[in-house]
Structure 1
Amino acid sequence: MARILLVEDQESYRLSLGIALKREGWEVLHASSGEEALERLQADEPYDVVITDLKMEGMIDGVEVIRAVKEADPLTEALLLTGYSSVETAIAAMREGAFDYVTKPFSVDELLLRVRNALERRTLRTTVEHFKRAARLEPRFDAIVGQSTVVLELLKRVSRVARADSTVLIYGESGTGKGLIARALHLNSPRRAQPFVEVNCAGIPDSLLESELFGHSRGAFTSAVQAKKGLIEEAHGGSFFLDEISLASPSIQMKLLKVLEDGHLRRLGENEARPIDLRFICATNADLRRSVEAGQFREDLYYRLNVIALEVPPLRERREDIPMLAKHFVEERCEKIGKHIGEISAEAMAVIGRYPWPGNVRELRNAIEHAVVMSEEEAIRLEDLPSHVRGHVDETSTDPVREETSLADLEKRHIAFVLGKRKDMSGAAKVLGISRSTLWRKCKEYGLRE
């Protein structure tokens, strides 16, 4: 539903125009002066069209209103109502960004035609902006590095799934690149020119997450001084990616279920539900099936999300990709800081290849970034690598890994080693490239101290 702000100081005139606009199915809000219009523009969410009279009582005229409209949201279209004697001023207002002007007296049909034209122009400009945004994003699968069989099979599946509009649930350990897969789904879908909005449940306090996701009306709670569109609503027409879905509270789980079932969203403090059109993509590093069985996750929401499941393999299952990834991260970091490093020494690459990388691709990226910064040569040397990577090799070099040693055993030994070096969980988690909650879960799983 289009949102229109009507700014007119003559009450009877304003009310009659408002009725005509509402009959078209548009949401119409009123301001009786330029001052009130500026307050609304600052407090409310953006409007699609603002219709303002040129001359009104008070210090602020229609030209000032249009200037404020363009500052609040450049995509909002503005129409000016003016008398014959003010046409020159109206033309000046168009230089400020007004879409058109209507001279008084005018028929309602004439005004409605101008409003429809303004709405069409806003839609066109919004679409162009989305295309520009999509063009700036990493194209297709370029962001996903690897030639291993498991990665190529995953990308084939992503390519097929992207063309559908089904809800997708992405599984994988922390740091495996679930966010890259979600973005690839969007960039290869028919929605690619529309917004891609990403939210991590672990990154926002639970007390704020509900308002951030669903938005709120003005006055919905003490600090809600203006209406706010939620992040789900920001993704309208495109894709919404919710990471760490297992951490969502029961209240948020229930609201997400309603959005998925009804295709409508209700902001905090509002009674009216708004239609929403988007593709839901979620990710988790937990076993949601177990969470359902433990009563920690809604079963009905689980089935709504688990329409199509994709699993991103941990780095230990695609070890042949490690050299390619390492070189990619060296080039990426060098480009950002303006440094030239041509290669990774054979000794350093051997250590990188043997290290278990429990933090997966994220930990590898962090280690390479450290090495690039520390390197004083044109090649990454062993001493440039983080101490915990070198230390792991030193620690295990006198006790070579036997063929029958399990991957879980390697991971357990490495986590124990890092915990021995870093006494606090937060510091150890940062070194490992995983979240504190993931480290805590692995410690519990392996019987290590918290």
Structure 2
Amino acid sequence: MSIVKDMSLAPAGRRKIQWVRDFMPALSQIEARFEKEQPFKGLRVAVSVHLEAKTANLGYVLSRGGAQVYLTGSNPLSTQDDVAAGLASMGVETFGIHGASAQEYEEHLMETLKCHPHIVIDDGGDLIDLLGGKCKEYADCLIGGCEETTTGILRLKAREKEGILPCPMMAVNDAKAKHYYDNKYGTGQSAWDGIMYTTNLVVAGKTVVVAGYGWCGKGVAMRAAGMGANVIVTEIDPFKALDATMNGFRVMPMDEAAPLGDVFVTVTGCKDVIVGRHFEKMKNNALLANAGHFDCEVAVAELQAMAKESALRRDNIVGYTLPDGRTLNVLAEGRLVNLAAGNGHPAEIMDMSFAVQALAAEWLTKQTGLEKKVYAIPESIDDEIGRAKLAALRLAIDTLTPDQEAYLNSWSTEG
């Protein structure tokens, strides 16, 4: 039985879902095949990804492939109540309410797992964490799972190293169709969509500090520069720092960047990236946003302890006034700004990421004897998605001739 805020919101949710379906052609091609082949017939799939329209479409596509789908969110602030109701009305068991407490959020995750899933699709590792701990009794039917994020994969690999991974897991984030496309272009656009909509301020002319220059950081920095910002990058990896420098960005430690920035965007997947000693140096009215994963990159609790007062300044912006009179503005409570204060990645971007999820889940159903390890996405899946997306965009590429293939696969340098 679904747990949503208000089923009367279902018509509005279905409209949102239908809108994104019209702009997710790769997933539509997969859905058409799934309907014919029914690869998930008789299987239960538990999904924990941000509960908004694109995720709803993934859940619906899996259900069309024969799965019994049980879907919840991966962050209570990104859950959209109308979408949750709309998806529930489309036959997918849905558990999620916007703004749920930490206890309610965990209860929704546990409700999702009570189905004893065969496959899990995770975003950040919450389902796997429960299945490896307090919900072990629900893991008895597990075939395997798929993980959406960089942070989640790091946690899975740590579990694998300690021998406590509850099932084989597919590293969806590491697929080319995911990190080349979603992390760079999706995060780059959606993070700034969320920041600009929430603040109603201009980007041009501001100094933007981007913490982390992985694929997500590249996208955030690129879009900031494209809108006229002066971009500073902070990093711990020397080669990523060099890459940022070669792309024209200033590189320095956060201690040096703190007094310079007007806008700070964290995209590291780590904790305590911006902390008390940085808050002490920042400009009045600096904006602090997170586009990484969990709400620990900006140490909001430490800022709260330093502040003499705090107040809601706009929807999704809390201002923390320090004893010297400076106010620092935290967006979306330090949670993912693109989802908690925006609509998430564009539909065309999530089309590819969720195509990886769907095909990786299907791949798991065809395997036997997999070890409890983290597996790379097969190149054939990436290739299928890339070609489907090119076809949808009416683009064509060259193909190697047999002679060219033989040349590339030969040790000989002769033609």
TM exceeding 0.5: no
Greater C-alpha radius of gyration: 1
Determine which structure has the larger helix proportion and give its number.
1
- Report 1 or 2 for greater relative contact order, CA contacts < 8 Å, sequence distance ≥ 6: 2
TM-score range, shorter chain: 0.3 to 0.5
